Amino acid sequence: MQAEARGCYDTRAMLIKELLAQRLTTAFTTAQAQGLLPPGDLPEGVIERPQDTKHGDFASTLPMKAAKTLRSNPMKIAQTLQQLVEKGHEIQKVDVAPPGFINITLSTAWLQQQVEAVRHEGERFGHVTSGAGHKVQVEFVSVNPTGPVHVGHARGAVLGSTLATVMQAAGYNVTREYYVNDAGNQMELFYRSLWARYQQALGKQAEIPENGYRGQYMVELGQRVVQEHGDRFLKMPEAKAIAAIGAVGLDHMITAIKADLEMIGVTFDNWFREKSLFQDSTYATAMKMLEERGYVVRRDGALWFESTKLGEDKDNVLVRSNGLPTYFASDAAYHYNKFMLRGYERVIDIWGADHAGHVSRLKAVVEALGADPSRLTVLLGQMVALKRGGEVVRASKRTGEIVTLRELAEEVGKDAVRFFFLARSPEAQIEFDLELAKQQSQENPVYYLQYAHARIAGILRHAEERHIEYRDGDVAQLKVDEELALIRKLLELPELVESIAKSLEPHRLPHYTMDLAATFHRFYDTCQVIPKEYSPEHDGALTKARLKLVDASRIGLAQCLTLMGMAAPERM
């Protein structure tokens, strides 16, 4: 394995981080075998990236972690390992720093060679194989189709779509799914509200039901149905009319939601209908299974899921005494479908924090259905408080006072919306000031990233115009700090992709991209790529090498922007 890795420049085969971890592990066991270190287990977390690059490319805190179990001095352990780590051609030096750090610096020659490796990988650079084709579902947004998508939903949309993309890059087999809640009494209310608006559009007297949907969009929807269908629903018996008009309204809502989400680059592989759970035997089978496993009891005329048997605070109603199933029952059946029928090895649900209280009971029901609840992860996006010029804007579908995603996308732009929500960890409760967002879109981090990409494109264009062919450039010319720093920064991308897929923290991607862009800008500032008085004899070697580095940077930056669903412009 090690010999194989040594001769390999392809980062896809093995990350340098993993290679170094192996070397350290081998050094550790060798030291014990030779009696240089006392016996004892290898601690977790062998290798990491130091915060400060002056400490080298990689650092290990292994000596300090092992000191206790080995009953040995951390500095002594560090020094022992320092001697035993196989350097190969990748490692330039291994240092020891108090109180027991091992610092590893990569060799310049190896770093230079990575420029070729990145260019060789091209569009695939940054992709890794840690996901091993495992079947994963990411379910997100899933807004009730009773109204348009609003600003608060944008967060989950961006989080979910980026996570799905990154997991795909990490080698998972990912399905993006939207759960359409087209059953239940909220939908019933929506249908009846639309029925009323439809009648009003035809000049008839009609009342919006209590707690119905009163937004302006419902008025428009009613008018639209009149345009498309005339008064034909009036001729039906009311119950039938409501059902028929409801189906039409639902269709329009889903189409609108789909279009709005596409405005910020969010798409799905599957739109799963709640109703389908009842149309086939999924719901019945799931309920039967819960019953057979002894988790269902009848009490006060309702059917209860005995979550308390699984350590929950209280039981939950599956079927109300009026015979109608609760949302929770649908959810149980839906997850039965995800795990049992479709066989996802792992399911990630992205919800708003207002649903936090439902996580544990859903996990309980998944367990009751016989799936390991650790296969289900629920990510909660904390609430987004919406402001306009410092004033809080209340978002409510029923009162109709909403700022829609569409408005936001039109005002602020897709890339800025994505970046803004993506850069914050899901747990952060954020305030979104529309005025500020618009204003800042002039002086936005988004432009910082895209400018770097456009700048790169400009240089490459320039090289082409001057007919500078750099295929034969020699990367060994790259020796300046700013050049090597840029290579080092690029090499972090595959590690980051692997790490994000594991920790489910896509917010680290925008921060890395900012870093990469800054590192490029610094390189640009100190290292001129194509001199004004360019002469092939005099400048050729360095210019060609730097063009290769610029090209590798383009690949890395474009990959980041692509993973985030943002544009990578050639010009601005």
Q: Does 65 bind RNA (CB under 7 A)?
A: yes
| Residue numbers 17-36 binding RNA by CB under 7 A | none
Q: Does 488 bind RNA (CB under 7 A)?
A: no
| Residue numbers 320-339 binding RNA by CB under 7 A | 320-322, 324, 326-328
- Supply the DSSP symbol for 122: G
Q: Does 540 bind RNA (CB under 7 A)?
A: no
Q: Does 73 bind RNA (CB under 7 A)?
A: no
Would you state the torsion angle of the CA atoms of residues 536, 541, 547, 548, taken in this order, to the nearest 10 degrees?
Answer: 140
Query: Smallest distance, Å, CB 232 to RNA?
Result: 30
Q: Does 571 bind RNA (CB under 7 A)?
A: yes
Pick the piece of the chain touching RNA (CB under 7 A) from 127-135, 148-156, 252-260, 417-425.
417-425
Query: Smallest distance, Å, CB 146 to RNA?
Result: 8
Q: Return the residue of 36, 202, 378, 430 that touches RNA, per CB under 7 A.
A: 430
Would you state the torsion angle of the CA atoms of residues 291, 294, 299, 304, taken in this order, to the nearest 10 degrees?
Answer: -60
Q: Return the residue of 363, 397, 455, 554 that touches RNA, per CB under 7 A.
A: 455
Pick the piece of the chain touching RNA (CB under 7 A) from 99-107, 199-207, 213-221, 469-477.
99-107
Q: Does 40 bind RNA (CB under 7 A)?
A: no
| Alpha carbon distance 148, 140 (integer Å) | 16
Question: Hunting for tokens 């060789």 — which residue is that?
Answer: 120
Phi-psi region of 142 (alpha: psi -120 to 50; beta: other; left: phi over 0): left
Query: Smallest distance, Å, CB 477 to RNA?
Result: 15
Give kind and range of the element (H or E) at residue 299: strand 296-299
**Residues near 425 by Cβ (< 8 Å), separated by ≥ 6?**
505, 507
Q: Does 567 bind RNA (CB under 7 A)?
A: no
Q: Does 535 bind RNA (CB under 7 A)?
A: no
| Residue numbers 211-270 binding RNA by CB under 7 A | none
Q: Does 419 bind RNA (CB under 7 A)?
A: no
- Strands laid side by side in the 135-139 sheet: 270-273, 173-180, 135-139, 346-352, 376-381
Whichever of 255 and 321 has its CB closer to RNA, that residue is: 321
Whichever of 173 and 447 has its CB closer to RNA, that residue is: 447
Query: Taking a C-beta distance cutoff of 8 angstroms, is the pair 328, 335 a contact?
Result: no
Pick the piece of the chain touching RNA (CB under 7 A) from 283-291, 351-359, 371-379, 471-479.
351-359
What is the maximal distance between C-alpha atoms in the chain? 94
Number of residues written out for the chain: 572
| Alpha carbon distance 409, 417 (integer Å) | 7
Q: Does 358 bind RNA (CB under 7 A)?
A: yes
| Residue numbers 283-312 binding RNA by CB under 7 A | 299-302
Q: Does 524 bind RNA (CB under 7 A)?
A: yes
Q: Does 45 bind RNA (CB under 7 A)?
A: yes
Q: Return the residue of 14, 219, 244, 317 that touches RNA, per CB under 7 A.
A: 317
Q: Does 538 bind RNA (CB under 7 A)?
A: no
- Supply the DSSP symbol for 44: S
Residue-wise burial string across 182-208, b where 16 or more C-beta atoms lie within 10 A, e elsewhere: bbbebbebbbbbbbbbbbbbbeeebeb
Q: Does 42 bind RNA (CB under 7 A)?
A: no
| Residue numbers 193-222 binding RNA by CB under 7 A | none
Whichever of 96 and 226 has its CB closer to RNA, that residue is: 96
Q: Give the helix, strand, coil percentages of the chain, each rounded to 5.
A: 55, 15, 30
| Residue numbers 144-203 binding RNA by CB under 7 A | 144, 181, 184-186
Give kind and range of the element (H or E) at residue 304: strand 302-305
Would you state the torsion angle of the CA atoms of residues 220, 221, 223, 227, taken in this order, to the nearest 10 degrees?
Answer: 130
Q: Does 278 bind RNA (CB under 7 A)?
A: no
Q: Return the residue of 266, 350, 362, 423 that touches RNA, per CB under 7 A.
A: 423
